[in-house]
Amino acid sequence: MKAAVLHSGRGDLAIEDVPPPAIGPGLVRIGIKCCGICGSDLHITVDKKIKLKSYPRIPGHESSGVVLEIGEGVTRYKKSDRVIIAAGTSCGQCDKCRAGMENACEKVGVLGFDADGAFAQEIVVPERSLTILPDAIPFDQGAILADAVSTPYHAVKYAGRMKPGESVAVFGCGGLGIHGVMLAKALGASKIYALDVDPGALSNASRYANETLDLKTIKNSGKTLKQLSGGIDLVLDFSGRYDNIENSVRAMNTLGRLVMVGIGHGHLTLALPPIMTYRQLSIIGSYGSDRRAIPELLDLYLAGKLPLADSITSHHPLEDINECLHNLHQRRGNPIRFIIEP
């Protein structure tokens, strides 16, 4: 089969003919229809911020496709089923996995980082990694549910415990953050403030946010947010800029929550002010999503609350993948999600 392969020490992916993965008991072979390019794919390719445990590796973790073959013991899927493939990997055996909290598994990983992914014509995954994709949802929009939408959904609903009527601030409105803004609106936030330094990202966020703020022009984002909103209940940070944390704390209401999703590479130096104590504020980490996310997102989509067609920037053959990665890195064309169709 044809695949995009990352070799140790190389930034670009090589388009190669490789043997298709072997199927076994409990596994399902999927023909990949669509796979989104995520910002984290840049960290293992263009900017080389993350070194994988082993090479060669086929990246790609936001995918959808059609069942081609089922292994012994598979009962929930049959040939030709349309499916979404979960972005996360896990052991499937521990207490957390059995409880549906795969993102809390001690062996949690990411498809395309810790196992071969979906920048390929075929993939083999465990049955538990699949969710039926309804006929009403296109393959490209189904694919990005696997991470670009499910990760911020977990941050908003489960880590952040957002209630209808609460005010929300979103720092970083790229491929994940833009869906954090969209989801806050879909789940009933009263006011949404979107903050970024990129004009294109702010333009995208303006479709769903009540107000957008350019961080390049603001000296103190916390003070500005407090003045504009009167107080924020939930802050979502997708930027990985740790200076946002101390600033945003000063804008938060009593019992406010700050959810950290973006992964930064600087040091977190936060002198906890008394405001943290007497307002009973929380700082929470959120990683990926669990088994609840995709089925609930499918319901939101089918109810008309997720306009994901706006998130699809363009479609490309596998041979265009390096150009797409570099365009995403440089933010050429104001992309949200480039879609690869292997």
Domain CATH code at residue 227: 3.40.50.720
Q: Going by C-beta distance under 8 Å and a sequence separation of 6 or more, which residues neighbour residue 256?
A: 231, 232, 233, 234, 235, 279, 281, 282
Q: The whole model's pTM is what?
A: 0.95
Per-residue pLDDT, averaged over 14-38, amounts to 97
Same domain for 180 and 124, yes or no, is no
Q: How far apart are the first and last CA of the chain?
A: 10
The answer to whether residue 125 sits within a structural domain is yes
Per-residue pLDDT, averaged over 263-272, amounts to 70
Predicted local distance difference test score (pLDDT) of residue 250: 85
Digit-coded pLDDT (tens) for 193-230: 999 999 999 999 999 999 999 999 998 888 999 999 99
Predicted local distance difference test score (pLDDT) of residue 47: 85
Domain termination site, one of 250, 269, 285: 285
Mean of the per-residue pLDDT values of the chain: 94
| C-alpha of 190 from chain center | 24
- Could you give the CA distance from residue 56 to residue 59 in angstroms, rounded to a whole number? 10
Q: Where residue 98 sits, what CATH number does that domain have?
A: 3.90.180.10
Are 175 and 342 contacting, i.e. CB atoms less than 8 angstroms apart? no
Same domain for 48 and 129, yes or no, is yes
Digit-coded pLDDT (tens) for 74-90: 999 999 999 999 999 99
For 332, the 3-state DSSP assignment is coil
Same domain for 8 and 114, yes or no, is yes
Same domain for 183 and 123, yes or no, is no
The proportion of the chain whose per-residue pLDDT surpasses 90, expressed as a percent, equals: 87
Predicted local distance difference test score (pLDDT) of residue 9: 64
Same domain for 179 and 143, yes or no, is no
pLDDT band at 58 (very low <50, low <70, confident <90, very high): very high
- Could you give the CA distance from residue 312 to residue 178 in angstroms, rounded to a whole number? 12
CA angle 107, 112, 113 (to 5 degrees): 50
pLDDT band at 48 (very low <50, low <70, confident <90, very high): confident
Q: Which two tokens stand for residue 114?
A: 């810790």
Predicted local distance difference test score (pLDDT) of residue 219: 85
- Could you give the CA distance from residue 151 to residue 141 in angstroms, rounded to a whole number? 15
CA angle 181, 315, 51 (to 5 degrees): 70
Same domain for 140 and 183, yes or no, is no
The answer to whether residue 204 sits within a structural domain is yes
Predicted local distance difference test score (pLDDT) of residue 177: 97
Q: Is the pLDDT of residue 107 over 90?
A: yes
Same domain for 55 and 69, yes or no, is yes
- Could you give the CA distance from residue 116 to residue 123 in angstroms, rounded to a whole number? 8
Q: Which two tokens stand for residue 41?
A: 């794919």
Q: Is the pLDDT of residue 265 over 70?
A: no
Same domain for 128 and 172, yes or no, is no
pLDDT band at 64 (very low <50, low <70, confident <90, very high): very high
Digit-coded pLDDT (tens) for 139-195: 999 999 999 999 999 999 999 999 999 999 999 999 999 999 999 999 999 999 999
Residue 231: give the domain boundaries. Answer: 161-285
State how many domains the chain has: 2
Same domain for 186 and 66, yes or no, is no
